[in-house]
Amino acid sequence: MWEGLRGRLEKDGTATVLAVPAYLYDVNFGDRVNVMRSAENALVATGVERDALNFTFRVLLKSDDPNAWQPLASELAEQGCLLDFISPGFFAMSCCEPQAREVADRLFALECDGVLHYETGRTQQLR
């Protein structure tokens, strides 16, 4: 899968991910990734070199209200989460390891209440 993400090329030839992936799995904000140049000269990540220990969640709100995202976004931002909005009803979020369980529990409770659907961006356990 391809997803254009902002990154910073480092002196050692890796790149630091400076965006919250909305579609990719097992790549998170702050990760250092190995890269190569595509035929179009774009940098393409080929794998994670160093895991930054951040967690990505994707949230799809079930409300038709275009402002429904605001209370949850404020709550999560106050906890130190970074949010990247794809649309008013769909956003990706990054939080650090100590916050991840609390955030996951909150999202799970909201999912059980029928407010949203969420998923985590990790398919592999931390090493």
pLDDT at 43 (0 to 100) = 87
- Outline which parts of the chain fall under CATH 3.30.70: 54-120
CATH hierarchy code of domain 54-120: 3.30.70
- Report pLDDT for 124: 78
In this prediction the pTM is 0.89
User: How confident is the prediction along the chain (127 residues), in pLDDT tens digits per residue?
Assistant: 677 889 999 999 999 999 999 999 999 999 999 999 999 998 899 999 999 999 999 999 999 999 999 999 999 999 999 999 999 999 999 999 999 999 999 999 999 999 999 999 988 776 5
The string of DSSP codes covering the chain is ------EEE-TTS-EEE-S--SS-SS--TT-EEEEEE-TTS-EEEEEEEE---EEEEEEEE----TTTHHHHHHHHHHTT-EEEEEETTEEEEEEEHHHHHHHHHHHHHHHHTTSEEEEES--S---
